[in-house]
Structure 1
């Protein structure tokens, strides 16, 4: 996801007078800018950094949806709407089959050892932000059996 695209979408939401969408995208833009400042690349923000910030915000909003009491239905609906909007911008994660194929192609030598700890250590840094950690863990467990 490009930072410029987020900003264009925020302007479009402002013109459409879509308050919740504008606020949500504004939150994403702020999170990206904060992360960029923290990492010292404020002027030229790479896509990887934007994706990382979006995934972090997605996780935060998912926790809000999950922990919101059922008797606060209007608040829960607002959180769910925000989650759905952020989900549109989140990078797609690799499926279980894609992770398995990637591991067998790029990490065949490590997978051959059947040492789960060694495999996870080698693989996690490479797949961070591309696949869910639970999916990676499941695939590695299956390969080690």
Structure 2
């Protein structure tokens, strides 16, 4: 399981003394633990599923990506570099992301499958796509591609 792999990798990093990896994996494990506590508080089984673990990892990766961009805009290259290194460490545990071309192809197939005709069908298309692409593609990118694809219908 992914959660166990992260724990094992933290132990290895501790032995190797890689401080960036140690702090990043500790942060990730802390986020996973917080998610477990949140689930327990809602009266659910606290053990995270693989999908929930990936969701937490994607949120952590998104935070690093946004921070990296903000630091670059503010000319804080030292901090941007730190965020980039953390992002690289987290990305190792995420499923391979689909390319923009692969996403476009899946979007077109989905639009044809449900017979979407206009931007009014955006919600239907996105709902289906996110079930299929969850964890495999950036939601923001998928949303942009769907909008662009549906704009062509409303001519």
Q: TM-score range by the shorter chain?
A: 0.7 to 0.9
Q: Distance in 1 between matches of 2:106 and 2:5?
A: 29
1:116 aligns with 2:116: no
Name which of 127, 137, 143 aligns with 1:137.
143
Q: Which sits farther off after the overlay, 11-20 or 80-89?
A: 80-89
Secondary structure of the corresponding residue to residue 129 of structure 1: coil
1:65–1:38 CA distance, 2 compared to 1 (3 A): same
Q: Distance in 1 between matches of 2:118 and 2:33?
A: 40
Contact 2:31–2:56, Cα closer than 8 Å, also in 1: yes
TM value normalised by structure 2: 0.75
Matches within 5 A, 1:1-145: 2-39=2-39, 40-43=44-47, 45-68=48-71, 69-70=74-75, 72-105=76-109, 108-110=112-114, 112-124=115-127, 125-126=130-131, 127-144=133-150, 145=152
Q: Distance in 1 between matches of 2:77 and 2:126?
A: 41
1:120–1:128 CA distance, 2 compared to 1 (3 A): farther
CA RMSD of aligned residues (A): 2.4
1:117–1:13 CA distance, 2 compared to 1 (3 A): farther
Unaligned runs of 5+ in 1: none
Q: Which sits farther off after the overlay, 77-86 or 10-19?
A: 77-86
How many matched pairs? 142
Unaligned runs of 5+ in 2: none
Give deviations 1:55-114, integer Å, cap 9, x for gaps: 1011111122112232x443332222112211222222222333344345556342x232
TM value normalised by structure 1: 0.80
Q: Distance in 2 between matches of 1:73 and 1:140?
A: 34
